[in-house]
Amino acid sequence: MASGEFDLVIRGGMIVTPAGLVEADLGVTGEVVVAIGEKLGAGQREINAGGHYVLPGGVDPHCHIEQLSGGGIMNADTFETATRSAAFGGTTSVISFAAQHRGMNLATVVADYAALARKGAVIDHAFHLMIANPDRQTIEHDLPALIRAGHRSVKVFMTYDKVQVNDEQLLDILLASRQNGALVCVHAENHGLLKWMGERLVARGYIAPKYHAVSHPRAAEIEAIYRVIAFAEFIDQPVMIFHVSTAEGAEVIRQARGRGVKVFAETCPHYLFQTAEDLVLPGYEGARMICSPPQRTASDQAALWQALELGDLQVISSDHAPYRMDATGKFSASATPGFKQIANGMPGLEMRLPLLFDAMVSRAPEARKHENLMRFVEWTATAPARIYDLAGKGAIAVGADADLAIWNPAREVTLTDELHDNTGYNPYRGRKITGWPETIIQRGAVLIEHGTLHAKPGQGRLMLRQPGPATQPTGRLAPEFDPARNFGADLS
């Protein structure tokens, strides 16, 4: 074996660091980046990255893996297939869900999901604690213990019969999260409005996949975002609004942030690249594109890009929620289902970064390329790592984990259904994109090279997290919560 000063040297790449783009060598010893500079000494292993970008591995903080959905249907992916697919798309860290359903013990749920990930995950991973059974055992015992053990984010649904929490339960979860130091992530849609619209459509025979979009009025998202932000402000608990799809939803978030409420928000590629028209396909083909909230309009797309640029939204996640177009997934209820019976979700882990790189970097006018490249890395790696307290992830710096993706900016690809997950289709089939992550490295080990995966199932590591700035309350108590202004009542 060659001797060298470093275990690995990546030579002459265009490296994106938080300080900007530098053309340099990057040295790795063990699992971390130890040097960025010109003419570094030899590495035991060397990779020539001339003409290529060296970016931090992507961080995808919202993906459903080996999970029972809100509708009670099992995902198509195992940890092995989902994380393999993520790695092929340039992502090296994921946060998926330890999903409690009614009647389940949260501590057991987390142990079970951790065991599945330990067996299959090829990349580093963490869990959001999904709460659907907020009983005393969960709220007073298991949730505090699990948060303190390093699972520093919680997820709730404001809709779906099987998993939704009501307003009182949501308040309990916000308060318990405040007391124990976790960020609360929310699927925000008004349950009653969805149910009412769904029933009216079905009663009139409008059951084709495209009516899914009609059954989730934008008002449902706007109202629920407004309500959960009102609760978060009242409890003084930071929240993350998942998958924002409407211009007005982003506007509600902008106003709240403007008055100092600690609210973070994400959107997803399907809201930036698709519209409700994508559900209009022959027969049941539109079932591929059913996800919740649904895709909206071109003007929502423009508003979401603007909200990202303004900082109102900080993250682009995939919301990977894979269901096959067969009886195990989209057609589990029937071979001829109505839209209400079709599982909500699409594969997204592998396409998230290539789609965004193409749109933001490859297609950008020369004058915008550099700025857009920095934003691409910020929204897909650095911000999610920072907001969710993934230490060592999301940015290239001396001392950070050597989680790297070497991108060929000139490679042209026509997307096909051949992905590395287990869903069997690609919502973006036929699209031509430029730029591809070719060599993927995690903690110094080469995971993917020349199209071949070198990782073993289970080699990904569980990331337990210390509470960081995003989980800290602002300290501004609502008058009714403040003993100085509520006649001395202690409501903590």
Residues making contact with ligand DUC (CB under 6 A): 64, 70, 187, 242-243, 292, 319, 321, 344-345
Closest distance of CB 28 from ligand DUC, Å: 35
Query: Measured between alpha carbons, how far is 76 from 99 in angstroms, rounded to an integer?
Result: 16
344 interacts with, out of Zn ion, ligand DUC, none, CB within 5 to 8 A per kind = ligand DUC
Would you say 67 or 133 has its CB closer to ligand DUC?
A: 67
Would you say 187 or 296 has its CB closer to Zn ion?
A: 187
Would you say 17 or 69 has its CB closer to ligand DUC?
A: 69
Binding site for Zn ion (CB under 5 A): 187, 319
Closest distance of CB 242 from Zn ion, Å: 5
E strand or H helix at 257, and its extent?
helix 247-258
Q: How far apart are the first and last CA of the chain?
A: 61
77 interacts with, out of ligand DUC, Zn ion, none, CB within 5 to 8 A per kind = none
Closest distance of CB 138 from ligand DUC, Å: 21
Q: How many CA atoms lie within 13 A of 460 on its CB side?
A: 30
Query: Measured between alpha carbons, how far is 309 from 226 in angstroms, rounded to an integer?
Result: 21
Would you say 25 or 66 has its CB closer to ligand DUC?
A: 66
Would you say 320 or 461 has its CB closer to ligand DUC?
A: 320
Residue with the two structure tokens 């287990």: 422
Are the C-beta atoms of 71 and 160 separated by less than 8 Å?
yes
Query: Measured between alpha carbons, how far is 405 from 423 in angstroms, rounded to an integer?
Result: 24
Would you say 70 or 120 has its CB closer to ligand DUC?
A: 70
Closest distance of CB 226 from Zn ion, Å: 17
Bridge partners, 452 (sequence order): 449
Beta-carbon contacts of residue 461 (< 8 Å; ≥ 6 apart): 124, 125, 443
Closest distance of CB 195 from Zn ion, Å: 16
Tokens describing residue 398:
């001396």
70 interacts with, out of ligand DUC, Zn ion, none, CB within 5 to 8 A per kind = ligand DUC
345 interacts with, out of ligand DUC, Zn ion, none, CB within 5 to 8 A per kind = ligand DUC
Closest distance of CB 291 from Zn ion, Å: 9
Query: Measured between alpha carbons, how far is 287 from 284 in angstroms, rounded to an integer?
Result: 6
Query: Measured between alpha carbons, how far is 321 from 349 in angstroms, rounded to an integer?
Result: 9
Q: CA distances (Å), 85 to each of 211, 219, 394, 414, 427, in order?
A: 30, 34, 18, 17, 15
Closest distance of CB 155 from Zn ion, Å: 8
Would you say 22 or 197 has its CB closer to ligand DUC?
A: 197
CA 314 from centre of chain: 11
